[in-house]
Amino acid sequence: MTNRGAHARPGGPNGGAGRAKAALAWERAAYWLLYVVALAATLWHWSHDNLGLSVLCLGAVVASMAMVALSSRPPDTP
C-alpha cells in the first residue's frame, strides 16, 4: 500500500510551482527583514559615534535592497 498523504507528491498538483512561489516569498521576507534590522543597526551605530560599524551596516542595507529588487523582478520570458 502506498502513502498518498500530503508528502506523497512533492510540489502538489502543480509539480512544484507552489513550493517555488512559497520559497520566493520567504526569500523576499528574509531580505526585507535584513533591510529593517540593518537600517536600525546603522542608525543605532551612527547615533553612538561608531562610524565603522555604521558603514558596514549601511552596506548590508544596500545589499538587501538590491536583493529585494532582484527577487521582485518578473522572470525573463522568451
| Dist. CA 62–CA 71, nearest whole Å | 14
pLDDT at 13: 57
CB distance 53 to 61 below 8 Å: no
pLDDT at 5: 54
Which residue has cell 498518498? 4
Q: Is 9 helix (H, G, I), strand (E, B) or coil?
A: coil
Phi-psi region of 12 (alpha: psi -120 to 50; beta: other; left: phi over 0): left
Up-side HSE of residue 7: CA atoms within 13 Å toward CB? 1
Task: Give average pLDDT by consecutive 10-residue segment, the chain, 78 residues.
Answer: 54 63 80 95 97 97 93 72
